[in-house]
C-alpha cells in the first residue's frame, strides 16, 4: 500500500532555506524566525521522512544525499504549488478559467465579434470554447450545465432560472438573386414575398420557426422549395436564382456573389441575446457578460 505523506509546504520551505544557506542562523534570519524553532522543524521533517537531511558539524552544515534530492524536489514542488495557487486566485478574479460558449453562426459577423475580440485580448488566460449550436440545442445544453453562456436571436423567453439580456439590435433582410424583380426597391414589403419561392435552413437549426410565424402573421405561408443545412449553401442557391430568403443583417456584411440584400418595410427584429444562469456564473463568465453588454 502506498504511503500517504502529511508533510506540509511550510516544512519544505523551512528545509529549503537551510539547504540553500547551509547555515541555521542565516536561514532563520531569512525566514524571520529564531534558530531553535527552525532546528526543531527540520528535526520534525527528518523524523517524518525517517532519514537525515543534514550532516551537522560544530561550525558547518552539509546536505546528505537524501537532502540534495529533497532540495531539488522541494524547489519543483513549491514552484508548482505557487503556480497552482496563483491560477486559482486568477480564476477567482475572473482573469483565468474556461467558458463553454454556445453561439449561432450569424452572431460571429455582428458587433459581438469585435466585443469578443476585445475580451479575449484583455483576458488571455480565459479559455473560451465556441460551440456553434441552434437556439433550441443551446437552451438544452444550458439546462444540463454543459454550456456556461448562450448567444442567439430572439431569446426573450428562456427557461425558468435563466437570464436573457439584449446585446444588440438587428433586423432580418430579404436576400434575393441580383436579377430579381425587387432589386431596384430601397425596401420591400413582406406581403410582396407571398408568391416567392423560399430557400431556407431547417427550423431546428435556424430562426425559421420564428420567421415562418412572421410570414403567417402577414397573411401567407412561405413556399419553401429548398432546404440546406449551411447558410452559405442557402445563399449559393439564391445566387443561382432558386429563390429568396430572409436573413439576419449580419450576412450583408460579407460579399456573396450574385446575392443582393434589401431591408423590409416592416422591421422584423433579429436582436442578439446572451442567456446564462446568474446564480451559476463564474467570475470569468461575469466578466464576459460585462464585456458583451455595451
Write the burial class of residue 50 (CB in 10 Å: 0-12 exposed, 13-18 middle, 19+ buried).
exposed
Spell out the residues 6+ positions from residue 108 whose beta carbon is closer than 8 angstroms to its own: none
- pLDDT, average across residues 152-176: 88
Contact between 101 and 147 under an 8 Å Cβ cutoff? The reply is yes
Q: In this structure, are residues 254 and 113 in contact, taking their beta carbons and an 8 Å threshold?
A: no
Model confidence, pTM: 0.67
Quick check: 1 pLDDT over 70? no
Quote the mean pLDDT of the chain: 89
Transcribe 105-148 into DSSP letters.
GGGGGSHHHHHHHHHHHH-TTEEEEEEE--HHHHHHHHHTTS-S
Which residue in 69, 116, 82, 31 sits closest to 288, CA to CA? 116
Biggest CA–CA distance in the chain, Å, is: 103
CATH class for domain 97-169+272-292? alpha beta
pLDDT band at 155 (very low <50, low <70, confident <90, very high): low
Residue 82 pLDDT grade (very low, low, confident, very high; cuts 50, 70, 90): confident
State the average pLDDT over residues 137-148.
93
Res 196: pLDDT: 96
Would you place residue 90 in the very low, low, confident or very high pLDDT band (cuts 50, 70, 90)?
A: low
* Residue ranges covered by each domain of the chain: 9-92, 97-169+272-292, 172-263
Is the pLDDT confidence value at 180 over 90?
Answer: yes
Helix (H) or strand (E) holding 138: helix 135-143
User: What distance in Å separates the CA atoms of residue 19 and residue 215, rounded to the nearest whole number?
Assistant: 79
Higher pLDDT among residues 16 and 158, named by residue: 16
Same fold, 9-92 and 97-169+272-292: no
Q: Report the CATH number of the 172-263 domain.
A: 3.40.190.10
Question: β-strand 149-153 against 97-103: which pairing, if any?
Answer: parallel
User: Per residue in 247-268, pLDDT tens?
Assistant: 999 888 888 999 999 999 999 9
| CB-based contact 285:99 (threshold 8 Å) | yes
Q: Taking phi first (over 0 means left), then psi (-120 to 50 degrees means alpha), and beta for anything else, what does residue 200 get?
A: beta
Give, rounded to a whole angstrom, the gap between the first and last alpha carbons of the chain: 58
Top-level class of domain 9-92: mainly alpha
Cell 475580440 sits on residue: 117
What percent of the chain has pLDDT above 90? 57
Structure confidence by residue, pLDDT tens digits, 98-123: 899 999 877 877 888 889 999 999 98
Amino acid at each position: 500500500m502506498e504511503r500517504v505523506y502529511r508533510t506540509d509546504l511550510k516544512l519544505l520551505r523551512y528545509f529549503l532555506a537551510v539547504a540553500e544557506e547551509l547555515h541555521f542562523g542565516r536561514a532563520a534570519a531569512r525566514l524571520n524566525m529564531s534558530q531553535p524553532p527552525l532546528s526543531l522543524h527540520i528535526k520534525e521533517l527528518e523524523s517524518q521522512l525517517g532519514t537525515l537531511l543534514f550532516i551537522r558539524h560544530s561550525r558547518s552544515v552539509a546536505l546528505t544525499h537524501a537532502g540534495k534530492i529533497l532540495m531539488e524536489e522541494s524547489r519543483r514542488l513549491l514552484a508548482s504549488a505557487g503556480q497552482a495557487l496563483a491560477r486559482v486566485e486568477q480564476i477567482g478574479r475572473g482573469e483565468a478559467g474556461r467558458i463553454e460558449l454556445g453561439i449561432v453562426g450569424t452572431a460571429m459577423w455582428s458587433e459581438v465579434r469585435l466585443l469578443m475580440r476585445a475580451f479575449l485580448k484583455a483576458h488571455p488566460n480565459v479559455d473560451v470554447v465556441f460551440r456553434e449550436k441552434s437556439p433550441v440545442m443551446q437552451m438544452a445544453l444550458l439546462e444540463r450545465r454543459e454550456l456556461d453562456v448562450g448567444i442567439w436571436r430572439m431569446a426573450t423567453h428562456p427557461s425558468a432560472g435563466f437570464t436573457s439580456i439584449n446585446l444588440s439590435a438587428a433586423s432580418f433582410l430579404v436576400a434575393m438573386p441580383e436579377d430579381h424583380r425587387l432589386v431596384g426597391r430601397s425596401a420591400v414589403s413582406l406581403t410582396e414575398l407571398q408568391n416567392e419561392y423560399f430557400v431556407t435552413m431547417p427550423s431546428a437549426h435556424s430562426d425559421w420557426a420564428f420567421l415562418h410565424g412572421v410570414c403567417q402573421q402577414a397573411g401567407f405561408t412561405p413556399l419553401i422549395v429548398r432546404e440546406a443545412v449551411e447558410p452559405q449553401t442557402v445563399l449559393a442557391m439564391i445566387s443561382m436564382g432558386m429563390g429568396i430568403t430572409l436573413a439576419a443583417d449580419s450576412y450583408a456584411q460579407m460579399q456573396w456573389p450574385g446575392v443582393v440584400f434589401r431591408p423590409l418595410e416592416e422591421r422584423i427584429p433579429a436582436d442578439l441575446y446572451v442567456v446564462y444562469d446568474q446564480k451559476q456564473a463564474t467570475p470569468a463568465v461575469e466578466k464576459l457578460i460585462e464585456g458583451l453588454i455595451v
